[in-house]
Amino acid sequence: MAGPLHGVRVVEFAGLGPGPFCAMLLADLGAEVLRIVRPGVAPDPQDITTRSRRQVAIDLRGPDGQAAALALIDKADLLVEGFRPGVMERLGLGPDDCLARNPRLVYGRMTGWGQHGPLAKAAGHDINYIAISGALHAIGRAGEAPVPPLNYVGDFGGGGMLLAVGLLAALHEAGRSGRGQVIDAAMTDGTALLSAFMYGFKAKGQWSNQRGENMLDGGAHFYDTYACADGKYVAIGAIEPQFYAELRERCGIHDPLFDGQMDPARWPLLKLRLADVFRTRTRDEWCALLEGTDACFAPVLDWDEAPQHAHNRARGTFTEVDGVVQPAPAPRFSRSTPTEPMAPQAASLDEVLAAWGAKV
């Protein structure tokens, strides 16, 4: 099988970050994604977010290029673009123009601030979008500045992933109604949505605005990372009482102070004492003692170590494409299994127009 999205056609207008990531997800699941790039841009196999699709160079600034893009859009099910509001409209490729020609088209728009609002047309990046959603404030150590969590929260989780969900939901609805629609995916909205769990804790009075003092932000001794004797780190997440008890038993922790697991007043001291425990052995030694048990333990692996871990190797969590190690497609399907990822490939405009049966 070629994946659950086999037969779905996607036109992607090349951008950076969340838009290509969304298109990658669709291609991983079997959709035929055509990436439109500026003339002179060659495929880059080391840009993993562009994998498993052909790219065609089209100059969108002229009428011929715009006509070619519209001809391809006529044959598409989904469209992905990540420009600032108004850019696609000025190119004659906005939602009104495209849906007038292809009423079943689902038109996905990926931006940081969204298509409307006071900040809609301002420049920004992931760190800015997660800042106004409350998420950035909550990430970091107590008494220290907020820490940017790479681009996971805004660009990819709250951005590209949410756009993919919206596109697939609208594609499903279009199959019933025969009508497409526009998806306005804003990273500010998506980041706020990803924070629903924490906002729920806050509503119950179980989460404070003080960074690094809550159960899941490194405030609790049983949910944090610890340095080992060799300078490497381990991660502990023993929240439930039975898992906490197993952690204590396997680590030989009998100090009665640890009995008050859920007493925040004890957490700072217990963190110091647990840190002393983990400094007594190397990371590999802790793995031999705790990995695979109900102590909720894992080694903290770097980018080189993670693909080599036995669990990741057994599941095929990583793959290699043209010498580039990269995450494999996810999730897994019992029947409509996607094909292995491929490096991006260049294609001529005439070739693509013919393959799609599109006429300019």
How is 99-162 classified by DSSP, letter by letter? HHH-TT-EEEEEESS-SSSTTTTS---HHHHHHTTTTGGGSS-TTS-----TTIIIIIIIIIIH
Same domain, 252 and 160: no
Point out the catalytic residue in the list 155, 184, 189, 224.
155
- Smallest CA-to-CA distance from 19 within 108, 147, 120, 149 is with 108
Q: Are 150 and 114 in contact (CB under 8 A)?
A: no
Same domain, 35 and 152: yes
Asked if the structure places residue 105 within a domain, the reply is: yes
Contacts of 198 (CB under 8 A, 6+ apart): 134, 138, 207, 216
Same domain, 105 and 24: yes
For residue 239, count other CB atoms closer than 10 A to its CB: 15
- Which residue stretches of 233-348 are H helix? 241-251, 267-278, 283-290, 310-315
Asked if the structure places residue 237 within a domain, the reply is: yes
Same domain, 265 and 349: no
Same domain, 102 and 58: yes
Same domain, 74 and 177: yes
pLDDT for position 2:
84
Same domain, 166 and 56: yes
pLDDT for position 310:
98
What is the distance between the alpha carbons of residues 180 and 183, in angstroms, rounded to a whole number?
10
Domain count along the chain: 2
pLDDT for position 158:
97
Task: Tell me whether residue 311 is one of the annotated catalytic residues.
Answer: no
Point out the catalytic residue in the list 6, 47, 97, 125.
125
What is the distance between the alpha carbons of residues 36 and 23, in angstroms, rounded to a whole number?
12
What is the distance between the alpha carbons of residues 77 and 81, in angstroms, rounded to a whole number?
14
- Residue 161 one-letter amino acid: M
Residue with tokens 């993919």: 164
Angle at 74 between CA 68 and CA 79, to 5 degrees: 90
241 lies in which domain range? 223-305
Task: Tell me whether residue 255 is one of the annotated catalytic residues.
Answer: no
pLDDT for position 273:
97
Same domain, 40 and 156: yes
Same domain, 83 and 157: yes
> Mean pLDDT for each consecutive 10-residue tract of the chain (360 residues)?
91 96 98 97 96 97 96 98 97 97 98 97 97 97 96 97 98 98 98 97 95 96 98 98 98 97 97 98 98 98 98 97 97 93 96 94
Contacts of 50 (CB under 8 A, 6+ apart): 20, 24, 35, 43, 44, 344
The residues that bridge with 185 in the sheet, in sequence order, are 110
For residue 170, the domain's CATH number is 3.40.50.10540
Asked if the structure places residue 215 within a domain, the reply is: no
Q: Are 23 and 12 in contact (CB under 8 A)?
A: yes
Same domain, 74 and 152: yes
